[in-house]
Amino acid sequence: MTASVRELAPVVPIRGTRAPVEIDTDGEVMDADQVAALLRVNRKTVYDYAGRGQIPCRRLGKRMLFSRTALMAWLTACKDSSRVNGA
């Protein structure tokens, strides 16, 4: 018997979340809990950064949604910027 995708997806417990968060490794659209698990920060930090425009996101009603591609590009740009500035 083969395992379902849900059984194979990593579950990451993060402080400040209500329950362990499943990371959909193939999904393009992520919610704040998934971004927090990916970045290993608190969900409130994700909302704070997104509200200040530091993390790329889109609003859908009251929800904030994040593009995995945009987040990866943002992380790469941050890493490249820190190398240029000597950090």
Structural domain containing residue 52: 26-77
Which residues of the chain register pLDDT less than 50? 1-9
- Check which CATH number belongs to the domain holding 36 and give it: 1.10.10
Closest by Cα among 6, 13, 7, 9 to 25: 9
- The confidence score (pLDDT) of residue 33 equals 95
- The Cβ-side half-sphere exposure at 80, using a 13 Å CA radius, reads 6
Q: How many domains are there within the chain?
A: 1
- The confidence score (pLDDT) of residue 16 equals 55
Please report whether residue 37 resides in a domain: yes
Q: What's the token pair of residue 30?
A: 């992520």
Please report whether residue 17 resides in a domain: no
Please report whether residue 58 resides in a domain: yes
DSSP letter at 4 equals: P
- The confidence score (pLDDT) of residue 10 equals 52
Please report whether residue 35 resides in a domain: yes
